[in-house]
């Protein structure tokens, strides 16, 4: 029988959650899906996947653009993500070392 994988929580994730899951959790705070400070410790993969879906639905309303958010939400987004970046930098995170996925060249597509 396989063991169900769980998320370690923002505090135990790489550099305080500088991962796609960490960003999803912080965005869930911004959108009011989760209370600010909820770290999702020991959440199942299904619970994280469900959270991702809920956050994506909210982002779609703003065309995935922070500038389309109401001022209060935009300010919360900036405050929350800025604090996360500062924490990660203090933990030794080096964003320049992060691998950015290759972007396919679609210019030759038919």
Better pLDDT: 78 or 110: 78
pTM of this prediction?
0.84
Query: What integer pLDDT is reported at residue 4 of this predicted model?
Result: 63
Residue range 35-57: average pLDDT? Answer: 96
pLDDT over 50 at 1, yes or no: no
pLDDT in tens, 17-43: 999 999 999 999 999 999 999 999 999
Query: What integer pLDDT is reported at residue 54 of this predicted model?
Result: 98
In eight-state DSSP terms, residue 38 is -
Cβ pair 51, 33 in contact under 8 A: yes
Cβ pair 27, 38 in contact under 8 A: no
């Amino acid at each position: 029988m396989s063991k169900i994988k769980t998320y370690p929580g923002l505090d135990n994730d790489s550099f305080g959650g500088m991962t796609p899951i960490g960003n999803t959790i912080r965005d869930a705070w911004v959108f009011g899906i989760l209370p600010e400070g909820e770290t999702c410790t020991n959440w199942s993969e299904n619970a994280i996947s469900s959270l991702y879906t809920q956050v994506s639905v909210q982002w779609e309303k703003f065309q995935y653009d922070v500038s389309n958010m109401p001022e209060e939400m935009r300010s919360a987004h900036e405050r929350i993500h800025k604090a996360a970046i500062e924490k990660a930098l203090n933990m030794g995170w080096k964003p320049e070392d992060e691998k950015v996925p290759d972007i396919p060249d679609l210019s030759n597509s038919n």
